[in-house]
Structure 1
Amino acid sequence: MELTDDDRARVAAAVALAERSTAGEIVTIVARRSDKYHDVALHWAVLAMLLVLALLALVPTAAVWLHGLVADPWEGAPSAGSLFTVALVLLAVTFLVVRLALAWMPLRLALTPGSTAARRVHERARMLFRTAAEARTLEATGVLVYLSLDEHRAEIIADHSIHKRVAPDIWGAAMAALIAATRDGRPGDGMAEAVRQIGLVLAEQFPPRSDDTNELPDRLIEL
């Protein structure tokens, strides 16, 4: 899923239009993903190793059979040390195979628990909000619309002046429109619609000032 020049122009135009009716400022950021989830790949690799250990415990003859594939058939019964070596090699191979398989990001994301992805997206959004919008407007009226494409997740975070007047669940319709369009392969449309709905809320709560200026960039920021 990629953003086009038309998407970028549409989002920037939506921000400019929304801000004409409010003293609020809307910042839009799109990221390919919010984390690389290396720990998820590591956890799955370790889990695979534990499953192999459990299998060897349930079927001890499996280690003997594997040893027989590489050992001298005239050697006799394998020693405990030989079987331990077989187990170690099998565990190492299992770890490497799973770790290499999960180097493919679509598979890694598919095996990432939803709660983990949601938490990472939220953490990234909070960090970006502090950098791009928090306390960067005259009346603390900045709003961040953050979309993480690969996770199909988004966050809407408002500065403290807005947070005092607008309950977080008010952004539900904007969030739903953004996520639905993104899952349909139309992230630009989703961002533009979310901005439009956020603008309606801001216009009601924070009408434009006579000395209002454009304090934050209208363009879509891509990471």
Structure 2
Amino acid sequence: MSRMQRHFDEQDVQRVNTAIGEVEEITSAEIVCVAAASSGRYDRAEDIFGLLLGMIAAGLVWIFLPDAVPGGDTWAGYTPTTKIAFMALAVLGGFVLGTVWASHAWPLRRPFVPKSEQRENVSHAASAAFFDQSLHHTRAGTGLLIYLSMDERRAVILADEAVLEALSQTTLDTLCRDLTKLLAETDAAEALCQTIRRAGQHLEALPRDEDDTNEHPNTLVLID
């Protein structure tokens, strides 16, 4: 099972797809929802956790190793070189284990990642997704991106010119704040569905033309 499948099963994806389709029936806006497992690698946080675990491992070795050796309850019987070797191996082993462990478990990295770094990474990833999905190339400049990053529990909403003029940046910011709050109150799929429909209420200012064509599939994009 992929990381994103733990957040969105097939029914969840279908619920979001349906919400997009319903809104695009009444507006010319092209809505794309992207949900990513994470918006950054946060290697430094992995290293910090690895170093911390290495130090803990060294402490445990210093306290308990002499007792584990028959007839020994202190380090007195060990040469300085042996002591250093044991401690170095403990630090190295703890560091490697910690970095690998933290790379697969966001809660272990999160305490060591500044909020500002999370916010910046999510913003950059959302901007990249906006261009990757070609939302800047819609026929009437009606692209709207709703981007969600699961690890950071942050959201970004970006719009092309026509949508920005119709909704205003203030409305987009409000929708984004509300989406972030919804993440703490309900599941991610429901949070997206509610946000899409709330955006649809404002997007009535951009009614769908009779010759309007769907330029983007009404499909939630999942990024592991």
- The one-letter amino acid paired with 2:44 is D
How has the CA–CA distance of structure 1 residues 168 and 9 changed in structure 2, closer, same or farther, with 3 Å as cutoff?
A: same
Distance 2:91 2:109 in 1: 24
Structure 2 regions of 5+ residues with no counterpart?
1-5, 57-61, 67-72
Task: Say yes or no: does 1:12 pair with 2:17.
Answer: yes
How has the CA–CA distance of structure 1 residues 173 and 86 changed in structure 2, closer, same or farther, with 3 Å as cutoff?
A: same
Task: Say yes or no: does 1:127 pair with 2:132.
Answer: no
2:59 alignment partner in structure 1: none
How has the CA–CA distance of structure 1 residues 14 and 74 changed in structure 2, closer, same or farther, with 3 Å as cutoff?
A: closer
How has the CA–CA distance of structure 1 residues 185 and 33 changed in structure 2, closer, same or farther, with 3 Å as cutoff?
A: farther
Deviations 1:45-100 (A, max 9, x none): 46888x99xxxxxxxxx9xxx9xx9977597xx6xx99987886676456445434
Deviations 1:172-215 (A, max 9, x none): 443244223322341111111111111222222x2222321111
* Secondary structure in structure 2 of the residue aligned to 1:201: helix
Distance 1:213 1:11 in 2: 20
* Secondary structure in structure 1 of the residue aligned to 2:152: coil
1:181 alignment partner in structure 2: 182
Question: Which range moves more in the overlay, 103-112 or 91-100?
Answer: 91-100
Distance 2:87 2:222 in 1: 47
How has the CA–CA distance of structure 1 residues 122 and 72 changed in structure 2, closer, same or farther, with 3 Å as cutoff?
A: same
How has the CA–CA distance of structure 1 residues 74 and 128 changed in structure 2, closer, same or farther, with 3 Å as cutoff?
A: closer
How has the CA–CA distance of structure 1 residues 173 and 87 changed in structure 2, closer, same or farther, with 3 Å as cutoff?
A: same
For 1:9-158, list aligned pairs within 5 A. 9-45=14-50, 73=77, 92=92, 95-96=95-96, 98-111=98-111, 112-158=113-159
Deviations 1:96-131 (A, max 9, x none): 454345244133343222222222111111111101
Structure 1 regions of 5+ residues with no counterpart?
53-61
Distance 1:22 1:176 in 2: 23
Question: Which range moves more in the overlay, 99-108 or 116-125?
Answer: 99-108
Instruction: Indicate conservation of the 8 Å contact 1:145/1:154, yes or no.
Output: yes
Identity of aligned residues (%): 23
Task: Say yes or no: does 1:195 pair with 2:200.
Answer: no
- How far the C-alpha of 1:33 sits from its partner, in A, is 1.9
How has the CA–CA distance of structure 1 residues 108 and 160 changed in structure 2, closer, same or farther, with 3 Å as cutoff?
A: farther
* Secondary structure in structure 1 of the residue aligned to 2:135: coil
* Secondary structure in structure 1 of the residue aligned to 2:137: coil
- The one-letter amino acid paired with 1:170 is T
Distance 1:47 1:153 in 2: 27
Report how many residues are paired.
208
Deviations 1:149-176 (A, max 9, x none): 2221111111133334543221244324
Instruction: Indicate conservation of the 8 Å contact 2:126/2:156, yes or no.
Output: yes
Instruction: Indicate conservation of the 8 Å contact 1:147/1:155, yes or no.
Output: yes
Question: Which range moves more in the overlay, 33-42 or 120-129?
Answer: 33-42
Distance 1:173 1:134 in 2: 21
Distance 1:211 1:137 in 2: 14
